[in-house]
Chains A and B, each alone.
Chain A
Amino acid sequence: MVKVTVDGIEVEVPPGANVLQACEAAGKEIPRFCYHDRLSVAGNCRMCLVEIEKAPPKPISSCSYPVADGMVVHTDSPMVRAARRGVMEFLLINHPLDCPICDQGGECDLQDQAIGYGMDHSRYAENKRAVKDKYLGPLVKTVMTRCIQCTRCIRFASEIAGVPELGATSRGENMEVGTYVERALTSELSGNLIDICPVGALTSKPYAFVARPWELRKTDSIDVLDAVGANIRIDARGPAVLRILPRVNDDVNEEWLADKSRFAIDGLKRRRLDACWVRRDGTLQRATWEEAFDAIAMRLDGATGDRIGAVAGNLVDVESMLALKDLMATLGSQNLDCRQDGAAVDVSRRDFYTFNTTIAGIEDADAVLLVGTNPRHEAPLINARIRKRWLALSGRMPVFAVAPHAELTYAVHWLENTPRALATLADESSDVGRTLRSAKRPMLILGQAALTRPDGAAVLAASWQLAAATGMMTPDWHGFNVLHTAAARVGALDLRFLPGPRGKDFTGMLGGGVDVLWLLGADEFDPARIGRNTFVIYQGHHGDHGASRADVILPGAAYTEKNGTYVNTEGRVQRGFFATYPPGQAREDWKIVRALSDRIGRRLPYDTIEAVRARMEQLNPVFARLDISPHFGVSDMTPPAGDPSAIGTEPFLPLFQTYYQTDAISRASPTMAECAAIYRPGMAVAAE
Chain B
Amino acid sequence: MAEDIGDGAKAEQFAQPTGFAFDAVSEAEITKVVAKYPPGRQASAVIPLLYIVQEQMKRSSGSAWVPRVAMDAVAQKLEMPPMRVYEVATFYLMFNTRPIGQFHLQVCTTTPCWLRGSDAVTAACRKATGIQGWGETSADGMFTMTEVECLGACVNAPILQVDNDFYEDMDAERTEALIAALRRGERPPAGSMAGRQGSAPEGGPTTLTSLDAQPAE
Contacts and interface: CB of A to CB of B under 8 A. Distances in A.
A170 B3 contact: no
B39 interface: no
B83 A180 contact: yes
A167 B83 contact: yes
A164 B84 contact: yes
A168 B90 CA distance: 9
A165 B86 CA distance: 10
Interface string A422-447: 00000000000000000000000000
B4 A167 contact: no
B140 interface: no
A170 B91 contact: yes
A169 interface: yes
B22 to A, nearest CB: 21
Interface residues of A, number: 19
Interface string A161-180: 00011111111001010111
Given A169-B90, A170-B91, A174-B8, A179 B3 contact: no
A576 B146 CA distance: 62
B216 interface: no
B83 A134 contact: no
B6 A180 contact: yes
Contact of A169 (B3, B4, B7): B7
A181 B81 contact: no
Interface string A442-485: 00000000000000000000000000000000000000000000
B217 interface: no
Given A164-B81, A165-B81, A181 B87 contact: no
Contacts of A179: 83
B81 A169 contact: no
B104 interface: no
Given A164-B81, A167-B84, A174 B3 contact: no
A131 B6 CA distance: 9
Nearest to A163: B81
Nearest to B5: A180
A182 interface: yes
A165 B83 contact: yes
Contact of A134 (B6, B9, B87, B90): B6
Nearest to B8: A174
Given A164-B81, A165-B81, A178 B6 contact: yes
A174 B7 CA distance: 7
B93 to A, nearest CB: 9
B90 A170 contact: yes
Interface string B72-93: 0000000001111011001100
Contacts of A174: 7-9
Interface string B5-27: 11111000000000000000000
A164 B83 contact: yes
A132 interface: yes
A158 B81 CA distance: 10
Contacts of A167: 83-84, 86-87
B84 A170 contact: no
B7 A168 contact: no
Contact of A182 (B3, B7, B83): B3
Contacts of B6: 132, 134, 169, 176, 178, 180, 182
Given A164-B83, A165-B81, A169-B87, A176 B8 contact: yes
B38 to A, nearest CB: 15
Interface string A512-530: 0000000000000000000
22 contacts: A131-B8, A132-B4, A164-B81, A164-B83, A165-B83, A167-B86, A169-B7, A169-B86, A169-B87, A169-B90, A170-B7, A171-B91, A174-B8, A174-B9, A176-B7, A178-B6, A180-B5, A180-B7, A180-B68, A180-B90, A181-B3, A182-B3
Given A174-B9, A181-B68, 10 more contacts: A131-B8, A132-B4, A134-B6, A165-B81, A166-B83, A169-B90, A170-B8, A176-B7, A180-B83, A181-B86
Interface of A: 131-132, 134, 158, 164-171, 174, 176, 178-182
Interface of B: 3-9, 68, 81-84, 86-87, 90-91
